[in-house]
Amino acid sequence: MRSESMNLGRKLACAVLVLVLAASAAANWLAPAGYARQYRDATGAPPSRAHWLGTDEIGRDRFARVLYGTRISLLLAPAAAFLSTLMAAFIGGLAGYLGGAWARIAMAVTDLFLSLPWLFLLITARALMPLNVSPLVSVLVTFLLLGLLGWTTAARVLCTTAASLRSSDFVRQARAVGLPGQRLFWIHVVPNLKPVLYAQFWISIPVFILSEANLGILGLGVAEPMPSWGSLLKELEGMVSVGEEPWKFVPLILLVVVVTSFQLLLSRQEEIAA
Amino acid sequence: MRSLRKTIAGGALTLLATVLLGGLLSATLVRMAPGFSADERELDPHLNAQSVQALREAKQRDHNIVRFYFSYMNRALHGDLGTSLALGQPVRTLLRDRAPLTLRLLSTGLALAWILSLTLALTSAWLRLSIFDALTTIVSGTFLCIPAAVLALLSVLWNVPGSLAIALIVFPRSYRYASNLLMKAYSRPHIVAARSRGLGEARILFWHVVPVVAPQLLAVAGVSVSVAVGAAIPVEALCGLPGIGQLAWQAALARDLPLLVNITILVTLVTLLANSGADAMGQVVRGEEA
Amino acid sequence: MKQHDRGSKQLAYRCGSAIAVALICLGSLLGQLSAQSGELRFCLRAEPKTFNPLKVEEDSSGAIRYLTGGVLVRVNRQTQELEPGLAQSWKVSKDGRQISFRLRSGISFSDGTPFTAEDVAFTVQQLMDPALHSPTGDAFRSGTGNVETKVISPTQISIRFPSQVAGLDRLFDQVAILSQHSPKKEMAVLGPFMVADYKPGSEVLLKRNPNYWKIDEQGRKLPYLDSIRLDIQPNRDVEMLRFKRGELDLINSLDSEYFDKLAATSPQLAHDAGASLDSEQLWFNEVAKSPIPGYKKNWFRSANFRRAISEAINREDLSRVVFRGHAQPAMGPFSPANKFWFNPNLKPQTYSPDAAMKSLQSEGFRLENGTLKDKDGNTVVFSIITNAGNKSRERMAVLIQDDLQKIGIHVNVVTLDFPSLIERMTQSFDYEAIILGLTNVDLDPNGEMNVWLSSSDSHQWNPQQKTPETPWEAEIDRLMRAQASTSDLKKRKEAFDRVQEIVVEQQPFIFLVNKNALSAVSANVHGAAPVILSPQTFWNAERLSVPAK
């Protein structure tokens, strides 16, 4: 019974993700106009037949922007999340597994990473790039930086997990039997890190999508006129009341749906792993 | 006994070294970032050339970062944390006046977030209902997807305390970790067997689950302090709460080196204490089990 | 009681009309009780950096100075005329170097310390201290040498400057008089309000100054308000939200988006006072030593290129789309709102991509597959930087990006945090084009002296020139100096009219729009009359009132 409903959920999640990706791939046909086209006579318009999700403050079709924004956010955010998860697994898992001085140093570094004002590093990164940089390069660099800086939380938890595994009975037994360290790490330690890794991956996706938009204030992230989900979500920041323009919530709902789908896929994986 | 003392001494030394390194690194980051020597006031067309020059020279004073940092540490040893460039007040007073508010905000926010996360995660692990899982995923996912600034704005709109906004920012993260970890623990064969035999839930929880997941959950709790500190910046700024978070943001915009260094040191200290505290408690729990 | 009776009898005996006077006094007292006892609330958008009026250099401190400081003369924000304040009358000498004031007598500071000419002399000396480096003081500094103050009597003083200061009397609008002797130093004030409490990061509480000298036409003591609570809140969204909830009474320089939202629901609260003095402009980096490619410098230093860009920008759309009609396409350096100094011969800048293309072609530019190339075959691409967080500037940049695409120019829009932007603009000169605004507080062009003089730091497109690099910049230098060295208003106006014409011809600053002065005033506030000059809504704070809660 349970596995059936899980299956259904998984199928649904797959379908949603495929649908969203397909829609963004077909943006050229689906969207009524390019993402940069300014309808200067219909700014801030409510949804209509011409503009399904209305237009933004300078008259760009919101539906088109959601579709094109998906391409960037839905491809790059998971990629960056994957990178940060990988780094977390490597740094945290290995440190915990090796233990001793290694663990102490790695954790001190992690704590430092958690507390430093990275804002200034990002400002410096922007200064190192030329002003005339293509929007795509800018957004790639941004997500790369996010991926490189986002591993800390998970690394800390992974280190603890790996450390407790190191002292657990079955690893000790495996050692006693003479299983080589490397194999032991991959076969017995890594699978047990999965709950943490999945959590890190899942959390990172929306966090990176939002961070990308916030980095817009430093001149990083997606440059105008290119859209991203983050920049569409930022529109919500200027709301004085919730009910006023409900269609502005569509990007948020879409992101929640996508994020939930990712979780359904992951939890299924977890089920198998367990 | 001696070894314990040694461990504590070693820990304290690492802590001190990390904190000082944090201060130096943050000073370097601030100093290297563009805009350090720029001053908004320069743009006032009333200022004549001498005044503009004076403004620039004032900023040049802290140009040599190593010298700045050593003189800062020297003064800090005597209890003088320097003077904020942007606000013109002693950093010590600024931090002292604002710390209690932030401390209250963070502790309430974190407590709320964890009560919510653990309740939901445990219920989820006990029930093992995919509908419930999906529901909690959607709820936590929604809060994860709403920009922190919007959550803070909503708390102003609905007149709820800022600590709730902090809680809702921390909650989805702590919930995901807690849920995944508990789910994994409850799916271990011996626990599944124990539950099917009808062993009391409380007994299973405290005898079999807690010892396994507690160190990791504590580690998550330690890290969630950092998440909450980060969340305090938009929440304090938008809710008009005069705490450290608001101060940090002002300092960053003004490239206020003395203030930023002190705030980083403070944040590093809090992070280290939270995380090493979590580690130590985790070790105690694990030790008991062994 | 008895003594009082006897006293009033004596009064009645002395003068028949005394009863009438007493009645008026009583009436005004009652009137005061009903009109007063309110608290006005609004936001400061940043922490005030100082309460010392002489050191003011940002808006928040400026607002507090306006509300608490007593000044010798005041520019009426509505009529733009100069009115007597602590000085009953004043006179500027013919050579424009000396000003003498006749002061009101019987006035004391908020702490009771009497006010005399000594305090004015003290304030001026403090202000002109070269080590102070305040914008207020620098505005008076036209040449080297000391300022001489001569106290003739407790109510008479003359101040002599080392060289001529054009528009001298108006500058005193910014000089709040300090007390020389008060133990409370700068916290002893002569304005309608005084700082009663300051919670850093949170609020400043102003209370009415019981010793304020002004009375209204009915003989009532001003100000009507009991107190003003200034919340420190940088976020505009939160400000609007709290205004809607009735927690704030005023919003200054309201965002056009919010203005429209407010006007849609409660039109009586939203005020559009028309075009303000503030302008938004785009300019190119013309600094010879800047680290940008030489061929780009050639474009930017060509007046033809700048004029073409200016012509290709649809200013009507900028005001209509970005500011929702609450801005006027800019005609030149000064807004038409500056009644006296604006040059009425200036015409609105035409929008014509075709004309722009033609003039570019005359310089050797050509279109290739929709991309503009210069005569050496370089693709015309440049970046526009602006400060992040300013929605209207970001949107203007995106509209301009779209406009210029029509003549084959590709623009990259980069938003930067303010310190990074300033560093690029004033120190590294590592930028190509920039959109920023100029907030103009002065009506007089002398306030912008440093913007136009080619040798100055604030000559943003190409600052600190040893000698003027172009003939037209030399001409502007000459005209600006000429207008500053005479007190003949007609001659000054002629010179500055010519400056405006040259700027429009050469387009070193491509002026885009003059924003309207938008504000919100809650229905609680009586006596509000928002104007275009800063401080828009509370310029007549002493005459505002709100019902007591």
Give the list of residues 6+ apart from residue A171 with CB closer than 8 angstroms, or none. A165, A184, A188, A189
Rounded to whole angstroms, the Cα distance separating C266 from C259 reads 10
Alpha carbon A24 to its chain's center: 17
Integer Rg of chain B from CA: 24
pLDDT in tens, B97-122: 999 999 999 999 999 999 999 999 99
The tokens for B164 are 């709730």
Rounded to whole angstroms, the Cα distance separating A202 from B177 reads 10
Mark whether B155 and B171 lie in a shared domain: yes
Q: Do B34 and C138 touch (CB under 8 A)?
A: no
Mark whether B100 and B241 lie in a shared domain: yes
For residue C317, report the phi and psi dihedrals to the nearest 5 degrees: -65, -35
What pLDDT was estimated at residue A128? 85
Please name each of the domains of chain A with its CATH number. 2-31+50-273 (1.10.3720.10)
Q: Chain B contact for C52, CB < 8 A?
A: no
The SS3 assignment for A232 reads helix
Confidence of residue A273 (pLDDT cuts 50, 70, 90): very low
Asked if the structure places residue B182 within a domain, the reply is: yes
| Other Cβ atoms closer than 10 A to B40 | 18
What pLDDT was estimated at residue C82? 92
pLDDT in tens, B186-241: 888 888 888 888 888 888 888 888 888 888 899 999 999 999 999 999 999 888 88
What pLDDT was estimated at residue B161? 92
**Residues of chain C contacting residue B239, judged by C-beta atoms under 8 Å apart:** 238
Q: Chain B contact for C457, CB < 8 A?
A: yes
Do C230 and C197 form a contact (C-beta atoms < 8 A)?
no
Q: What percent of chain A has pLDDT over 70?
A: 94
Which residues, in sequence order, are bridge partners of residue C279? C438, C514
Q: Chain A contact for C388, CB < 8 A?
A: yes
What pLDDT was estimated at residue C232? 92
What pLDDT was estimated at residue B198? 83
Is A183 or C337 the better-scoring residue by pLDDT?
Answer: C337
* Interval A254-265 mean pLDDT: 88
Do B264 and B248 form a contact (C-beta atoms < 8 A)?
no
The tokens for B276 are 């090493």
Mark whether B118 and B168 lie in a shared domain: yes
The tokens for C504 are 């429009």
Rounded to whole angstroms, the Cα distance separating C234 from C207 reads 23
**Residues of chain B contacting residue A208, judged by C-beta atoms under 8 Å apart:** none
pLDDT averaged per 10 residues in sequence order, chain C, 549 residues: 40 45 47 62 92 91 95 93 94 91 95 95 93 86 86 94 87 94 92 94 93 92 94 89 92 91 92 92 95 95 95 96 94 90 92 95 93 94 92 94 95 92 92 89 84 91 94 95 87 95 96 95 94 91 89
Neighbours of chain C (3+ CB pairs under 8 A): A, B
Tell which phi-psi region holds residue C302, choosing left (phi > 0), alpha (psi between -120 and 50) or beta: beta
Mark whether B59 and B118 lie in a shared domain: no
Q: Chain C contact for B150, CB < 8 A?
A: no
The tokens for C438 are 């100029």
Mark whether B51 and B133 lie in a shared domain: no
Inter-chain contacts counted by CB atoms under 8 A, chains A and B: 177
The tokens for B57 are 């020279």
What pLDDT was estimated at residue A268? 59
Do B227 and B145 form a contact (C-beta atoms < 8 A)?
no
Pairing of strands C39-44, C227-232: parallel
DSSP E strands in C350-492: the ranges are: 366-368, 371-373, 381-387, 410-416, 433-438
Identify which of A36, A38, A223 has the shortest CB distance to residue C412: A223
Rounded to whole angstroms, the Cα distance separating B83 from B92 reads 8
Instruction: Say whether the peptide bond before residue A225 is cis (omega within 30 degrees of 0).
Output: yes
Asked if the structure places residue B100 within a domain, the reply is: yes
pLDDT in tens, A56-77: 989 999 999 999 999 888 889 9
Alpha carbon A129 to its chain's center: 24
What pLDDT was estimated at residue C27? 46
- Which residues 121-150 of chain C have a CB within 8 Å of chain B? 130, 133-136, 138-139, 141
Helix axes B148-157 and B162-186, enclosed angle (nearest 10): 130
The tokens for C242 are 């709290």
Strands lying side by side in the sheet with C98-103? C87-92, C98-103, C156-160, C148-153
Q: Tell me, what CATH number does B244's domain have?
A: 1.10.3720.10
Asked if the structure places residue B269 within a domain, the reply is: yes
Asked if the structure places residue B9 within a domain, the reply is: no
Identify which of B137, B271, B282 has the shortest CB distance to residue A114: B271
What pLDDT was estimated at residue A263? 85
Which position has the token pair 């919007």?
B150
| Domain count within chain B | 2
Mark whether B201 and B263 lie in a shared domain: yes
Do B120 and B136 form a contact (C-beta atoms < 8 A)?
yes
DSSP E strands in chain A: the ranges are: none
What is the residue range of B56's domain?
Answer: 19-80
What pLDDT was estimated at residue B62? 67
The SS3 assignment for A119 reads helix
The tokens for B113 are 């977030």
Give the amino acid at C278.
D
**Residues of chain C contacting residue B48, judged by C-beta atoms under 8 Å apart:** 138, 141, 450
Confidence of residue B74 (pLDDT cuts 50, 70, 90): confident
Give the list of residues 6+ apart from residue B172 with CB closer than 8 angstroms, or none. A203, B140, B141, B143, B144
* Interval A29-49 mean pLDDT: 89
Mark whether B54 and B139 lie in a shared domain: no
Pairing of strands C366-368, C87-92: unpaired
Q: Chain B contact for C417, CB < 8 A?
A: yes
What pLDDT was estimated at residue B224? 94
Nearest alpha carbon to residue A220 among A116, A121, A78, A123: A123
Asked if the structure places residue B154 within a domain, the reply is: yes
- Chain C: residue whose CA lies nearest to A218: C416
Q: Which long-range contacts (CB under 8 A, 24 or more apart) does C6-9 make?
A: none
| End position of a domain, from candidates B32, B54, B80 | B80
Alpha carbon C242 to its chain's center: 26
pLDDT in tens, C166-178: 888 989 999 999 9
Q: Distance from B45 to chain A by nearest Cα, in Å?
A: 26
What pLDDT was estimated at residue B205? 86
Do C338 and C500 form a contact (C-beta atoms < 8 A)?
no
- The count of residues in chain C is 549
Nearest alpha carbon to residue A80 among A217, A194, A203: A203
Which residues, in sequence order, are bridge partners of residue B85? none
| Other Cβ atoms closer than 10 A to C210 | 10
pLDDT surpassing 90 at residue B244: yes
- Which residues 179-198 of chain B have a CB within 8 Å of chain A? 179-181, 183-184, 187
Mark whether B26 and B76 lie in a shared domain: yes
Do C462 and C307 form a contact (C-beta atoms < 8 A)?
no
Rounded to whole angstroms, the Cα distance separating C508 from C511 reads 9
> How far apart, in Å, are the Cα atoms of C386 and each of B34, B45, B151, C395?
15, 19, 27, 10
What pLDDT was estimated at residue C318? 96
Which residues, in sequence order, are bridge partners of residue C410? C381
| End position of a domain, from candidates B80, B98, B113 | B80
Rounded to whole angstroms, the Cα distance separating A215 from C81 reads 46
DSSP state of C427: I
Q: Chain B contact for C458, CB < 8 A?
A: yes
Asked if the structure places residue B134 within a domain, the reply is: yes
Q: Do C399 and A38 touch (CB under 8 A)?
A: yes
> How far apart, in Å, are the Cα atoms of A200 and each of A85, A146, B80, B146?
6, 13, 41, 18
Rounded to whole angstroms, the Cα distance separating B70 from B65 reads 9
Mark whether B31 and B132 lie in a shared domain: no
Mark whether B99 and B154 lie in a shared domain: yes
Mark whether B74 and B96 lie in a shared domain: no
Asked if the structure places residue B64 within a domain, the reply is: yes
Nearest alpha carbon to residue C169 among C154, C177, C182, C159: C159
The SS3 assignment for C465 reads coil
**Residues of chain A contacting residue B220, judged by C-beta atoms under 8 Å apart:** 157
CA torsion sign for C237, C242, C244, C248 is negative
Mark whether B192 and B59 lie in a shared domain: no
| End position of a domain, from candidates B80, B97, B129 | B80
Give the amino acid at B56.
R
Do C301 and C290 form a contact (C-beta atoms < 8 A)?
no
Tell which phi-psi region holds residue A178, choosing left (phi > 0), alpha (psi between -120 and 50) or beta: left
Rounded to whole angstroms, the Cα distance separating C330 from C337 reads 11
Give the amino acid at C541.
A
Instruction: Name the average pLDDT for chain B.
Output: 87
**Residues of chain A contacting residue C290, judged by C-beta atoms under 8 Å apart:** none
The tokens for A35 are 């993402």
Asked if the structure places residue B272 within a domain, the reply is: yes
